[in-house]
């Protein structure tokens, strides 16, 4: 990093001092990940759980220090925000909006259509004659409530699943069964109508490695996006969830960079939406895991960040204090995984340094809307 950019980084950090006393700034904390990202025209952010927001002030101070964007891990999902057919519960979403507003940090919305995290009433209520109105009403209500206050919406999440053998390799979900592929068109058009200013994202996992099913999924995602764009469906960006596995095969950087370039060639932006690096299959040694996780995450980011269509990176949480991975992919030895930039004591890890270094070494993207 040049001396100029280091000075800019520190100046930026001083301006955003989260720990400064009211009576004069303390020494600037070492700049957060977002300060590194901003220097190159990108952002860094993190997912925030309702529990951390309500009960972990120390973690939230670090979220503020590191982040230029936040996303709720669960509060904007149907299960939380629309628990009964005639009842919305905005308490969790509003709590994050209040915190983010007070800290002047943009919020992205996650997610409007998914096959998971749906309330019990939804699937039985969906039919060919009811589904469109249910979907449009939900999007109009939820997106409308936060119109002008959210920077992105993950409009549809994880819609590709070739094992279901449906057209365009679409997943066989309750929405697909009720409306066919058109549910995606309806969701994007309803979102655009409810908040024209929020960037509309199709969010997907499992496109990170040069292995057969992920290479096919890359092609399926590109084909779906091309089909949507051809039919003037207002999709604007692809979300790469980037749930990585340090025990997985090595990152094929050339192939990954080509995939990102293929997305950009469609005129779409790219956001890394749920970055984390699991160590489920690695030996117990913390030092060895941290080293492997940092190297793996760095290799992936170094292949993706250089593309000017990439707007930024959010990790799926900030600290190893809590990660979905310990539930979904527990280590056989029962140890907590170490997938995120800060450890459970909120110290910066090798992964934090690897992410900062990847931002520092990428050519500047120039100014762009996040």
Which residue ranges make up the site for ligand G3I (CB under 6 A)?
73-74, 77, 116-117, 157, 241, 274, 324, 328
Q: Which lies closer to ligand G3I via its Cβ, residue 74 or residue 302? A: 74
235/238 Cα distance (integer angstroms): 8
Instruction: Characterise 304 by phi-psi region: left (phi > 0), alpha (psi -120 to 50), beta (else).
Output: alpha
Spatial separation of the C-alpha atoms in residues 46 and 113, rounded to whole Å: 21
> Between 243 and 365, whose beta carbon lies closer to ligand G3I?
243
Helix (H, G, I), strand (E, B) or coil at 288: helix
Query: Please, what is the minimum distance in Å from the beta carbon of residue 77 to ligand G3I?
Result: 6
Q: How far is the CB of 240 from ligand G3I (least distance, A)?
A: 11
The answer to whether residues 69 and 43 touch, using CB atoms and an 8 Å cutoff, is yes
CB atoms within 10 A of CB 74: 18
Residue 26: CB minimum distance to ligand G3I, A? 34
Measured from the CB atom, the residue of 157 and 173 that comes closer to ligand G3I is: 157
Shorter beta-carbon distance to ligand G3I: residue 116 or 219: 116
Which spans in 16-169 are helix H?
33-38, 50-55, 57-66, 78-81, 91-102, 122-125, 131-145
Give the DSSP H or E segment for 213.
Answer: helix 212-230
In the complex, the smallest distance separating the C-beta of residue 20 from ligand G3I, rounded to whole angstroms, is 32
Give 80 or 302: the residue with its C-beta nearer to ligand G3I. 80
Q: Judged by CB, which is closer to ligand G3I: 36, or 161?
A: 161
Residue 219 C-alpha from the chain's centroid? 21
> Which DSSP helix (H) or strand (E) runs through 270?
strand 269-278
Give the nearest distance from C-beta 80 to ligand G3I in angstroms.
Answer: 8
Which residue's Cβ lies closest to ligand G3I? 324
In whole angstroms, what is the distance from residue 273 CA to residue 152 CA?
11
- CA gap 263, 222 in Å, rounded: 7
Instruction: State the nearest-atom distance from the C-beta of 159 to ligand G3I, in Å.
Output: 12
Q: Kindly state the smallest distance separating residue 78's Cβ from ligand G3I, in Å.
A: 10
Percent helix, strand and coil across the chain, each rounded to 5? 45, 15, 40
Residue 274 CB, shortest distance to ligand G3I, in Å, is 5
Whichever of 36 and 278 has its CB closer to ligand G3I, that residue is: 278
Residue closer to ligand G3I by CB (options 337, 362) is: 337
**Cβ pair 152, 143 in contact under 8 A:** no
Instruction: State the Cα–Cα distance between residues 337 and 282, nearest whole angstrom.
Output: 10
Q: What is the distance between the alpha carbons of residues 363 and 238, in angstroms, rounded to a whole number?
A: 21
């Amino acid at each position: 990093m040049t001396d100029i950019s280091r000075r800019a980084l520190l100046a930026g950090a001083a301006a955003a001092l989260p720990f400064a006393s009211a009576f004069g700034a303390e020494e600037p904390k070492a700049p957060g990940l977002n300060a590194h990202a901003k220097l190159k025209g990108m952002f860094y952010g993190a997912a925030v759980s309702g529990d951390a927001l309500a009960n972990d002030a120390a973690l939230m101070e670090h979220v503020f220090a590191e982040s230029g964007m936040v996303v709720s891990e669960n509060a904007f999902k149907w299960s939380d925000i629309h628990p009964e057919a005639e009842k919305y519960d905005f308490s969790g979403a509003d709590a994050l909006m209040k915190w983010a507003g007070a800290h002047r940090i943009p919020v992205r919305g996650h997610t409007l259509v998914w096959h998971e995290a749906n309330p019990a009433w939804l699937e039985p209520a969906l039919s060919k004659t009811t589904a469109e109105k249910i979907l449009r009403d939900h999007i109009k209500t939820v997106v409308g409530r936060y119109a002008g206050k959210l920077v992105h919406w993950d409009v549809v999440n994880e819609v590709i699943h070739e094992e279901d053998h449906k057209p365009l390799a679409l997943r066989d979900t309750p929405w697909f069964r009720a409306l066919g592929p058109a549910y995606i068109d309806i969701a994007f058009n309803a979102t655009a109508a409810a908040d024209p200013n929020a960037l509309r994202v199709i969010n997907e996992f499992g496109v990170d490695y040069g292995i057969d099913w992920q290479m096919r999924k890359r092609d399926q995602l590109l084909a779906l996006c091309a089909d949507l764009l051809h039919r003037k469906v207002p999709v604007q960006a692809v979300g790469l969830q980037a749930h990585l596995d340090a025990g997985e095969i090595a990152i094929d950087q050339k192939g990954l960079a080509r995939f990102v370039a293929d997305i950009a060639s469609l005129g779409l932006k790219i956001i890394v939406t749920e970055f984390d690096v699991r160590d489920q299959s690695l030996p117990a040694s913390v030092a060895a895991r941290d080293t492997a996780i940092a190297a793996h995450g760095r290799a992936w980011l170094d292949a993706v960040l250089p593309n000017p269509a990439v707007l930024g990176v959010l990790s799926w949480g900030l600290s190893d204090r809590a990660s979905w991975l310990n539930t979904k992919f527990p280590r056989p030895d029962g140890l907590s995984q170490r997938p995120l930039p800060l450890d459970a004591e909120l110290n910066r890890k090798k992964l934090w340094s690897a992410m900062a270094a990847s931002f520092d070494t990428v050519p500047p993207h120039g100014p762009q809307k996040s």
